[in-house]
Amino acid sequence: MSNYSDFRSDTVTKPTARMYEAMQKARLGDDAHGDDPTTQELERHFQHLFEKEAALFFPSGTMANQAAVAAHTVPGEEIIVDESSHLFQFEGGGLSRIAGVQTRTINSDNGQFDFGRIAHAVRAVSVHMPRTGLICTEQSHLFSGGTILPIDYLQELHAFALNRSIPIHLDGARLFNVQVETELAFAEYGAVCDSLMISLSKGLSCPIGSVLLGDGAFIERARRVRKWMGGSLHQAGVVAACGLVALDEMPARLATDNALCRQLGGMVLGLQGARMAQETIDTNILFLEITQPDLDAPMVEAALADHGVLALALGDRLLRFVTHRHLSHSDVEHAGSALNQILNA
């Protein structure tokens, strides 16, 4: 797909030259036996960055999220999740299959729960009802267009949960895109949750991987769940080495990725036949609603591909664009021009 401007996701990013070099030179052991030095180095870096007791490398963010839920809960408990969250919508039903939990979904305002509604969702102690075992949240919030949840909201949510002895798991797949905007210390995000997941294979441009963080006992439970799921790798340092490079190379690039998304948003504001389906562009995700009655999102997706632009249709009306390091201002201009031609043909 090298001849396309690919806006489908930031997961399409390829490793950098330094990442390829690091993979070749990585010091290796066997992570399944706990002695791969490069994987351990990556885990320590994240542990110190977020000021958490322990960290654990996973092949994917989905696996890390699902392991987190299973490590926090016991089968038959209930978790509270946003009805539009990645954890609930886009992880293959793993919550019921892997953790064996019941989900209590509530809607949110750009990722933020109403505290009255979430208080009502927390179960009373009763043998007749499942115990509320976990609250899950997301930063940035994918389905509202990469919206940033304010730190004061996350602090309030954590205090709410702590008062009820309920842990918080934070899906921080694109947290690095958030941090470059807020400029808050990563430890501030570590302090508002009991566990969090960071994806290495989105804006950080690694070919594979994520990191799960929490206290030591939690990570040991998650390690066992990772084994159940087949995620206990051997020479994991080959790919963990990319994460070490990413921590050095990628954060400075993420501000450009976010800016490119805002540039694209500016180009589509005046389009006839489409409108932004989100209130703000905080990070690197843009959702468009196709309002042209003679077109739908899959049709526009196909037409864009004919113009050399790849986007992702999500349902009949929504079209998603995600910016990343392989895109430039000219790619954004190309996408905006193609949309204009398609919608006004």
Using the predicted structure, report yes or no on whether residue 345 has a pLDDT greater than 80: no
Q: Would you say the pTM of this structure is higher than 0.85? A: yes
- pLDDT tier, 156 (very low <50, low <70, confident <90, very high otherwise): very high
- Tens digit of pLDDT for each residue in 221-255? 999 999 999 999 999 999 999 999 999 999 999 99
Q: What residue type is 105 in one-letter code?
A: T
- pLDDT tier, 344 (very low <50, low <70, confident <90, very high otherwise): confident
Give the angle 20-21-22 at the CA atoms, nearest 5°: 90
Instruction: Write down the domain spans for the chain.
Output: 14-249, 251-343
Residue with tokens 């113009």: 307
Which residues make Cβ contacts (< 8 Å) with residue 92, sequence separation at least 6? Answer: 62
- Tens digit of pLDDT for each residue in 259-278? 999 999 999 988 999 999 99
Which residues make Cβ contacts (< 8 Å) with residue 292, sequence separation at least 6? Answer: 272, 273, 274, 343
Closest CA to 137 of 177, 176, 86: 86
Give the CATH H-level superfamily of domain 251-343: Aspartate Aminotransferase, domain 1 (3.90.1150.10)
What pLDDT sits at residue 1? 53
> Is 14-249 CATH 3.40.640.10?
yes
* Residue-wise DSSP of 323-335: --TT--HHHHHHH
Residue with tokens 């009306």: 317
What pLDDT sits at residue 49? 98
Which residues make Cβ contacts (< 8 Å) with residue 189, sequence separation at least 6? Answer: 50, 139, 151, 154, 170, 172, 175, 179, 196
In percent, how much of the chain has pLDDT > 90? 97
